[in-house]
Amino acid sequence: MDYTKQIQEIAAKLFAENKIDVFVGYRMNGFDDNQVPVLVTGANDVSKLVFTDKSVFNLVNYLKTEHTRRKRVGLVVKGCDSRSLNLMLTESQVKRENLYVVGIACEGVTDDAGQKMQNCTDCMVPDAVAFDELLGTPSGSPTPSGSPTPSGSMTPSGSMTPSGSQTLTYKMNADVAALAAMPLTERATYFEEVFENCIRCNACRHSCPLCYCAKCCIDQETATLYNGANTTSAAFHALMTWSLHLAGRCVDCRNCEKACPSHLPLHLLHKQNESVIYENFQEHLAGVIADDRGAFYKYSLKDPDDFIL
Ligand code: SF4
Ligand code: SF4
Ligand code: SF4
Ligand code: SF4
């Protein structure tokens, strides 16, 4: 998967036609074969842009910064990233008319060891679902049954529509399944050990595109609920609250995990929520459908509630 040349050409054209003020993409980090996000502000710098299986970060996170707010922005999105973009649009955090979206029919990204990342192995929607133009060959990502077919971009030009003809088979995360098989006390001990390593830096929440609240209830400095304490108990409550704020919204991009200096397996919280919501809220999978609001907006009196404590 290498779309470096195409992305450089697209960005150059957008700047030449004065359609964007900034292009959010990836560049080499300068010391190994990994990449970092880059904000390019003119045609002279588009040669910095790259896109390969090392383009791991979710660039939608950069739509919440001052560098892009109220600007015309070009950006690259893979399947998972595009789902978070759909949510940002639905939650009125960005204006579609200010964006030019280069979607990727994604083949997966790799870690430092060159292995496909776990979320890519589990990926249910690799093709971008919101875009102005799409690079790559769509796999025809299946859609949740009973859901409308994603329409691609809200203002598509040459848009692709995921087939929608296949019914999505939910892929249960292997780590979540393994945890579920553990006796409760063992599971509790496991999580105590995990949360013990949290240093409450909040890099996880800052790296999540869907955590854009100006005043966050778990921020170390402002938290009244968690009093800024750096204890296992405070970390436990903060991370549980955080994961619930992402319930039905998390798109499994793993930006949070990549940012965590303590390498906590944060996907365990989010994937557990995702599976419960998929099972109980009409097969809801976050951000796959444009304009589809979060799972909790789909509340119906017929919803089962026996899983609620
Ligand atoms: S989770 Fe899916 S869309 Fe996201 S990087 Fe992996 S394969 Fe691509
Ligand atoms: S919680 Fe993590 S995996 Fe989920 S959308 Fe946010 S950054 Fe991505
Ligand atoms: S954790 Fe909750 S309050 Fe904080 S930014 Fe995320 S959604 Fe907002
Ligand atoms: S990034 Fe990691 S260490 Fe920092 S608050 Fe989040 S889970 Fe804790």
Question: pLDDT per residue over 220-267, tens digit each?
Answer: 666 566 666 678 888 888 899 999 999 999 999 999 999 999 999 999
Residue 7 is encoded by which pair of tokens? 């992305």
307 Cα to the center of ligand 4, angstroms = 28
Residues 120 and 178 in one domain: no
- Nearest residue (by CA) to ligand 3, atom 2, is 245
- Nearest residue (by CA) to ligand 4, atom 3, is 198
Task: Give the length of the chain.
Answer: 309
- The average pLDDT across 91-110 equals 96
Residues 18 and 128 in one domain: yes
Residues 154-201 pLDDT 10s: 333 333 344 444 567 888 999 999 999 999 999 999 998 999 999 988
Range of the domain at 230: 174-298
Residues 10 and 78 in one domain: yes
Average pLDDT along the chain = 87
Question: Ligand 1 pocket check: which of 106, 168, 274 to mutate, most ligand atoms within 8 Å of Cβ?
Answer: 106
Residues 119 and 224 in one domain: no
pLDDT of residue 303: 74
Residues 101-122 pLDDT 10s: 999 999 999 998 999 999 999 9
Residues 125 and 47 in one domain: yes
**What's the pLDDT band for 149 if we cut at 50, 70, 90?**
very low
Among 83, 107, 135, where does a domain finish? Answer: 135
Residues 181 and 129 in one domain: no
63 Cα to the center of ligand 3, angstroms = 16
The reply to whether 151 falls in a domain is no
179 lines ligand 4 (CB under 6 A): no
Going by DSSP bridges, is the β-strand pair 35-40/22-28 parallel, antiparallel, or unpaired? antiparallel
Please report the atom of ligand 4 found closest to the CA of residue 266: 7
d(C-alpha 118, C-alpha 115), whole Å: 9
Among 125-129, 167-171, 282-286, top mean pLDDT goes to: 125-129
Residues 184 and 114 in one domain: no
> Does residue 300 have a pLDDT over 80?
no
The reply to whether 303 falls in a domain is no
The reply to whether 249 falls in a domain is yes
- Nearest residue (by CA) to ligand 3, atom 3, is 216
pLDDT of residue 163: 41
Instruction: Encode 150-169: b = buried (16+ Cβ within 10 Å), e = exposed.
Output: bebbbebeebbebebeeebe
Question: Helices 267-280 & 232-245, crossing angle to 10 degrees?
Answer: 40
Residues 7-17 pLDDT 10s: 999 999 999 99
Please report the atom of ligand 3 found closest to the CA of residue 242: 1
pLDDT of residue 167: 66
199 lines ligand 4 (CB under 6 A): yes
Question: Ligand 1 pocket check: which of 1, 76, 109 to mutate, most ligand atoms within 8 Å of Cβ?
Answer: 109
> Does residue 218 have a pLDDT over 70?
yes
Residue 100 is encoded by which pair of tokens? 């030019």
Question: Ligand 4 pocket check: which of 195, 196, 198, 270 to mutate, most ligand atoms within 8 Å of Cβ?
Answer: 198
The reply to whether 152 falls in a domain is no
Residues 209 and 96 in one domain: no
How many domains are there within the chain? 2
Residues 12 and 123 in one domain: yes
d(C-alpha 92, C-alpha 221), whole Å: 27
242 Cα to the center of ligand 4, angstroms = 11
The reply to whether 257 falls in a domain is yes
Decide if 73 contacts 89 (C-beta within 8 A): no
Among 105, 135, 165, where does a domain finish? Answer: 135
Residues 44-55 pLDDT 10s: 999 999 999 999
d(C-alpha 55, C-alpha 39), whole Å: 14
Residues 60 and 128 in one domain: yes
Contacts of residue 170, defined as CB under 8 A and 6 or more positions apart, other chains included, come to 124, 275, 278, 279, 283
- Nearest residue (by CA) to ligand 1, atom 5, is 108
Ligand 2 pocket, residues with Cβ under 6 angstroms: 84, 207-208, 210, 246, 250-256, 270
- The average pLDDT across 88-100 equals 95
**What's the pLDDT band for 25 if we cut at 50, 70, 90?**
very high
Residues 76 and 188 in one domain: no
Among 135, 163, 184, where does a domain finish? Answer: 135
223 lines ligand 4 (CB under 6 A): no
DSSP 50: B
The reply to whether 161 falls in a domain is no
- Dihedral class, residue 181 (left if φ above 0, else alpha if ψ from -120 to 50, else beta): alpha
Decide if 254 contacts 239 (C-beta within 8 A): no
205 Cα to the center of ligand 4, angstroms = 8
In sequence order, which ranges of the chain are alpha helices (DSSP H)?
4-16, 79-90, 118-121, 174-180, 184-196, 203-206, 232-245, 255-259, 267-280
Question: Ligand 2 pocket check: which of 81, 255, 260, 269 to mutate, most ligand atoms within 8 Å of Cβ?
Answer: 255
Residue 159 is encoded by which pair of tokens? 């848009």
**Biggest alpha carbon distance in the chain?**
61
Higher pLDDT pick, 59 / 156: 59
